[in-house]
Structure 1
Amino acid sequence: MLEIVPDPALAGRGVRVRLACLAARVAIGPAGPELATAIDEEIARVRADPALPPAVTATRRALKALGKDPSRYRPAAEALRRRLAQGKDLWRVSNLVDLNNLLSLRSGLSIGTYDMARLSPPLCLRQGLAGESYAGIGRGPLNLEGLPVLAHGNGPFGSPVSDSERTRVTETTKEALMVLFDFGGEPGGGEPGGGALLEEAAALAAEGLRAWCGAGEVTCWRVEG
């Protein structure tokens, strides 16, 4: 199990975050028909009810508290929904990436999935520093200053806005780390004893990894900051 150490400075800024982390060996390939159908059904549901879910609103609130404009640095879960509202389809990439997007649409949580072979422990959750950036997936350079980021020995690699090209999942990925970011998008969600939304989303993630991504044993753990 990878340890992800949270920086207490985030809580000092009034931002409470909990992570659900899942690690598994995976078999990367195209999404099967059941996963594709589940995605199509979720797209129809979101288009019928485009209102932002509480989890997205909570993430926007956290970004604002950390000094980032959430209309410029939109949570990844919000960006997915905006794409659908604009009449565009989701990218269909692979079973694992498509599962990531399905879970994000269902829960409103921003979710990152990473190739574990490209991670260099120890890992931490902290605020991005001045001058830090990385190439975000599909968006080019991302200014990380102020954002909550996941970081390792080579610097930041993930955030609830966009993840790094450097650690993204590819067709050669054998082991993956999935991280669900919860900033309290429900009553008690950001406080000890809350987090039912995160628990439900993590359970669905583990189920999807086994059913659609060839995972056998899935290791799950929580991080609170």
Structure 2
Amino acid sequence: MYSFLKRTVSIFITKKMLFKIEPFLRKCYTINKHGSKHECIICGFKSKEWVIIENKDCLCPNCGSLSRDRRLWNILSTKYLKNNLFVLDFSPSRSLYRNWKKQKNIHYTASDLSGNFIADATYNITNISKDNNSFDLIVCYHILEHIIDDEKAMTELYRVLKPNGTVLIQTPFKEGEIYEDYTRTTEAERLKHFGQEDHVRIYSINGLKERLQNTGFKIEILKLKGDKYFGFSDNEKILIAKKI
């Protein structure tokens, strides 16, 4: 039902307009969704059920956050938020973007080249038009698997990050080695080999760790358990990259 409503709305409303009126539409959608079984850590909405979308992920009916968004905000809010923080966030979800903008005394910049996300800038991750040592915190969630020259992107992330700064990184992961094949250029081939039409590789957790270390980062891998109440996925992995 949710997917049908989303597709129907997108037929009649432009993407730009949808971004503006989405909170109102969600308020209408959640009229009969209130409950006590689950709580969204981003918007605070308590619901009787998550919306289960096509890939089986759990979506908040009130703000539209996915399980990875809620986990990310939990980590950010408990460990990283502080006054006068300079943040760069690549292609954030709308729920996270709106939450960031509510934070006081934080200098937050969202960047997106695709036009599919709310953003303040259009930085190319392989050539970020910012000075060295510009940001305390960078969020790079589900970005690197789209980038052909990912090592150049990692070098740029390192360059614009301040000393002792942090990059939070997540991509889809597989067991074994990184799988990439640059001869796979069509959407059909990339969907078959990498799981999505605009992906160019599938990382292994240790393969991505090694590439980041070769760039100069110190890496910590978080392996996290699920939580049904807050809608966190089980066995979720996040890389914490520090510039020392």
TM-score (norm 1): 0.25
Q: Which has the higher contact order (CA 8 A, sep 6+)?
A: 1
TM-score (norm 2): 0.24
